[in-house]
Amino acid sequence: MTIYTRAYSNSSAGKLVCGRKKTGGHLSPEQLLEEFKNHALLRNQYPTALVSVSDRLLDTLNRAFNMKYERRDDPANIWVVFINVPDPLPVSPACTIHSAEDLARKCGIWNPQRFHYEFLFEWAIPEQYAQHKVSLKTLVDRGLDWDRYYCFRVDTNLPLRDLREKVREMLDHKSWPSSYDYYGVGISLGWFAKSFGARAPLKWICFQLLQDCIPEVLEADDEEGQDLCDGIDDVVADSWLASLEFFWNVRDWEEMCEREFDRHLDALNELKAEWEALEVHSLFDSFCDGSDSAPVSVEERAMLDGVAAEDYRRDPDGFDSITAMLEEMGLHANRGREDPEHTEIRQREKPSITWQRWYDDEWAEYQSKIKRLETWINKTIEAEAVRIGL
């Protein structure tokens, strides 16, 4: 598996999708280079077909903090997402990844090494590869807060080297001037990784930070390396993931997910019942002659509703009994009639609103209710997951 990260906010041109907000076929070599030239422009305002990710966590954190301080985005709407891609990558036009450094060399861009850690998806990042995401607000609430560092700067854009130094200060545990307390470094790494939640690739985060900030620790011998791993495990595994408190929190969360899922199904069934009733009325209206004085009483409509409900349960695509009852009532269909006289009458009439427009409006409202319901359920579940550290 190869792990990438990406930072985006709700105001970004795209989240897991490119700035064009659409997908297309595999880009030709010429198209790819043209898209990259636009992508590489620092202040480019034109959306491209490329989605940028990084295999370096500090790059992504730096972008996330820049969104807060430079663009003034709300930290609750800034996200760091972990993308777990199979290795080797399945051969598919739906998922193609390119090295930004290689593309920069082909385009003749100055200093292509600055793109060394950047990779590009064509059109979109497949949702199944998005392993986990966490908001910048959650990270700050859990201790990754560099506010006090920013307030001493004249500009608002934090250079990566300064962020690296800040993290190094957090991790730099020396028992002697030239010797590291490897267990202490492991403890600090574990607390840093824990901020991203239990669903994040915790070991990967730890060794990413080591490689970027204090790479000399990676040269430790076996005993020192074991001390380092013990420090990480004591924070991440023993005192957190393996604790009874975390176990019961996760179990309660899973039960809450089941309850919310049941509530979701009940609410969907209610919405479906409402929609089926609306469908009956729209079907009835489609058989009316369109005038304001349709010869249908309240009793006839109620009887029609009852037959329609029974018909729908038996055969949702049928409505044979409804059709027969409408014919008995002397009602005529708006469309498909061969009666010339009826056609002539319909041509003379101009109703203020057709049943089809009403039907379309109700269908849109039905879909909107479902979307709002799903959003509310997801927010409820995710808020509880964040609270318990997932």
pLDDT digits (tens, 9 = 90+) for 54-108: 999 989 988 888 888 888 888 888 999 999 988 776 666 567 889 999 999 998 8
Lowest mean pLDDT among 121-135, 209-223, 302-316, 318-332: 318-332
Residue 324 has pLDDT above 70, yes or no: no
Task: Assign 3 a pLDDT band (cuts: 50, 70, 90).
Answer: very high
Instruction: Name the pTM for this structure.
Output: 0.67
What is the predicted pLDDT for the residue at 341?
Answer: 45
More confident position, 325 or 215: 215
Report which of 209, 199, 65, 191 is spatially closest to residue 137, judged by C-alpha positions.
Answer: 65
Whole-number average pLDDT of the chain: 72
Residue 51 near residue 127, CB atoms below 8 Å: no
Residue 245 has pLDDT above 80, yes or no: no
| Digit-coded pLDDT (tens) for 35-50 | 888 888 766 667 888 8
Instruction: Determine how many CB atoms are found less than 10 A away from the CB of residue 217.
Output: 21
What is the predicted pLDDT for the residue at 329?
Answer: 47
Is beta strand 179-180 parallel, antiparallel or unpaired with respect to 174-176? antiparallel
Distance CA 243, CA 194 (A): 14
What is the predicted pLDDT for the residue at 303?
Answer: 55
Q: How far is CA 74 from CA 180, 213, 244, 380, in A?
A: 38, 28, 35, 20
Distance CA 55, CA 76 (A): 23
Residue 289 has pLDDT above 50, yes or no: no
Lowest mean pLDDT among 136-145, 215-224, 334-343, 373-382: 334-343
Please state the domain extents for the chain.
2-150, 160-242, 247-387
- DSSP-assigned letters across all residues of 340-374: HHHHHHHHH---SS-HHHHHHHHHHHHHHHHHHHH
Residue 321 has pLDDT above 60, yes or no: no
- What's the start-to-end Cα distance of the chain, in Å? 21
Mean pLDDT, rounded, for 203-221: 81
The secondary element (H helix, E strand) that includes residue 50 is strand 50-54
Residue 351 has pLDDT above 60, yes or no: no
What is the predicted pLDDT for the residue at 60?
Answer: 92
DSSP-assigned letter for residue 270: H
Identity of the residue numbered 19: G
Distance CA 79, CA 136 (A): 6
Report which of 139, 160, 132 is spatially closest to residue 78, judged by C-alpha positions.
Answer: 139
Q: Which fold has domain 2-150?
A: Heat-Labile Enterotoxin; Chain A (3.90.210)
What is the predicted pLDDT for the residue at 319?
Answer: 46
More confident position, 322 or 207: 207
Residue 19 near residue 13, CB atoms below 8 Å: yes
The secondary element (H helix, E strand) that includes residue 122 is strand 118-122
Structure token digits, residue 298: 């309240």
